[in-house]
Amino acid sequence: MVSYATQPIESFLTDLDNTESGLSAVVSAIRAGSRFLVVSHLRPDGDAVGCLAGLARSLRKAGKWVDIGLADQPPERFAFLLEEEVLVKPGRVNSDYDVIICLDAGDASRTGFEQDFDSTRAVLIDIDHHASNTCFGEINFLDFGASSTCEMITSLIQTADFPLDSDVAEGLYLGLATDSRFFQNENLRASAHLSAAALLGTGLDTAPILSILNGGRTLQEMKTLGKGLEKVEMDCDGRFAFSVLTHNDLAACGAVRENVWASGLFNQLTTIKGVIVSLVAVEDIDGKIFCEFRSRGGFDVKSIAVAMGGGGHLAASGCSRSAPLDDVVMEACRLIREKLLKESVPKVAHGIGVR
Ligand SMILES: [Mn+2]
């Protein structure tokens, strides 16, 4: 029988200078603190909600006081993880926390709590896997090779020997599965699978989680997915696919912005044969434009999102703009075309074992 214990999970962390020292500094700060606020980013996804729930539950079992802060409500299908929580909102942060832990957010403004960070005496810890992270904490535990912040929290809990049972594992497994797209991300490290093994080793029943992830789509989300796919356009010799959803499109589907995220549309366009980069632009009801970029084969969409004021990962990134839809789409398309041209990226062969 394979023993996962023979290879400590830390050995799979990237050798970024600050990764391991960041982890041990975080462990020391958490051991020393007793009152915690854990926060995550605006428009929280499965990773954000999962690591908030997982870390809060573990630290409470370790005898700590933990509150959870979120500026936006969690998406409906992940809300069960936080249903017993009284969520702390920006501007309403008490002054008596020892430590504020910021999870899965590339910079302070992504949380909505940046003014609270400025006015608090608490130690600010930044734990994240986004390569665009600005290192904004007093202590930063960053691992750009990690599949998810949930994977990093699993490492943290194991390293610190904090409680890890099925209750703690529930959110962490959900976040690990969603952020790694069920272990389908390119360049996924062994540590992602080892974290999953540790979480499943708690006796976690994954059936309810899988049923939410695979069967929890609403009719509005399904219609939004259909509308987005119907409107796909191809460019750059079939290497670039994009789709633009206006607020009229959303209204026709009975959908709101959150439904587009939950629909799974963003990850669909790069599954078209030959496509290596995709863009979905969404016009919200208030006129704000959201762009989501995805890529395959190592094409860097993070740099495009950063150039447009956003951030994210090499293969999945995004930005938002308050500008006319056409202008934003034109700028995003131009940046993608220029980068494709400059890098003369070949078509990716789609097929098992072919890259
Ligand atoms: Mn994440």
pLDDT per residue as tens digits for the range 183-198: 999 889 999 999 999 9
Residue 4 pLDDT level (bands cut at 50, 70, 90): very low
Q: What is the pLDDT of residue 213?
A: 85
* In a domain? residue 156: yes
Kindly report the average pLDDT of the chain as a whole number: 91
**Does 122 score more than 50 pLDDT?**
yes
CATH of the domain at 157: 3.90.1640.10
Residue 288 pLDDT level (bands cut at 50, 70, 90): very high
Centre of ligand 1 from the C-alpha of residue 182, in Å: 13
Q: What's the pLDDT tens digit per position in 219-260?
A: 999 999 999 999 999 999 999 999 999 999 999 999 999 899
Rounded CA-CA distance 193/185 in Å is 12
Name the nearest CA neighbour of 213 among 173, 154, 270. 173
* In a domain? residue 352: no
Domain range holding 319? Answer: 219-343
Q: Residue by residue, what is the 3-state secondary structure of 95-130?
A: CCCCEEEEECCCCHHHCCCHHHHHHCCCEEEEEECC
User: Are 191 and 249 within one domain?
Assistant: no
Centre of ligand 1 from the C-alpha of residue 313, in Å: 9
Centre of ligand 1 from the C-alpha of residue 47, in Å: 5
* In a domain? residue 207: yes
Centre of ligand 1 from the C-alpha of residue 1, in Å: 32
Q: Among 213, 246, 275, where does a domain finish?
A: 213
**Does 17 score more than 70 pLDDT?**
no
Lowest mean pLDDT across 118-122, 162-166, 298-302, 327-331: 118-122
**Does 44 score more than 60 pLDDT?**
yes
User: Are 252 and 204 within one domain?
Assistant: no
Q: What's the pLDDT tens digit per position in 340-351?
A: 999 865 555 444
Centre of ligand 1 from the C-alpha of residue 237, in Å: 32
* In a domain? residue 123: yes
Q: What's the pLDDT tens digit per position in 45-96?
A: 999 999 999 999 999 999 999 999 999 999 888 999 999 999 999 999 998 9
CA dihedral sign, ordered 56, 18, 14, 269:
positive
User: Are 148 and 19 within one domain?
Assistant: yes
**Across 312-337, average pLDDT:** 96
Q: What's the pLDDT tens digit per position in 132-174?
A: 899 999 999 999 999 999 999 999 999 999 999 999 999 999 9
More confident residue, 6 or 126: 126
Centre of ligand 1 from the C-alpha of residue 148, in Å: 5
User: Are 256 and 239 within one domain?
Assistant: yes
Burial class (CB in 10 A: 0-12, 13-18, 19+), 118: exposed
User: Are 141 and 173 within one domain?
Assistant: yes
Name the nearest CA neighbour of 129 among 111, 152, 157. 152
User: Are 189 and 255 within one domain?
Assistant: no
**Does 13 score more than 80 pLDDT?**
no
User: Are 225 and 181 within one domain?
Assistant: no
Centre of ligand 1 from the C-alpha of residue 252, in Å: 31
Burial class (CB in 10 A: 0-12, 13-18, 19+), 266: buried
Q: What is the pLDDT of residue 348?
A: 52
User: Are 99 and 117 within one domain?
Assistant: yes
Q: Among 189, 213, 237, where does a domain finish?
A: 213
**Total-model pTM:** 0.81
**Domain count across the chain:** 2
* In a domain? residue 354: no
Burial class (CB in 10 A: 0-12, 13-18, 19+), 351: exposed
* In a domain? residue 353: no
Rounded CA-CA distance 98/33 in Å is 6
User: Are 147 and 269 within one domain?
Assistant: no
Q: What is the pLDDT of residue 9?
A: 37
Centre of ligand 1 from the C-alpha of residue 48, in Å: 6
**Does 332 score more than 60 pLDDT?**
yes
Q: What is the pLDDT of residue 347?
A: 53
Q: Among 213, 228, 256, where does a domain finish?
A: 213
User: Are 127 and 24 within one domain?
Assistant: yes
User: Are 177 and 31 within one domain?
Assistant: yes
Centre of ligand 1 from the C-alpha of residue 153, in Å: 11
CATH of the domain at 273: 3.10.310.30
CB atoms inside a 10 Å sphere around CB 176: 31
User: Are 42 and 146 within one domain?
Assistant: yes
* In a domain? residue 114: yes
* In a domain? residue 348: no
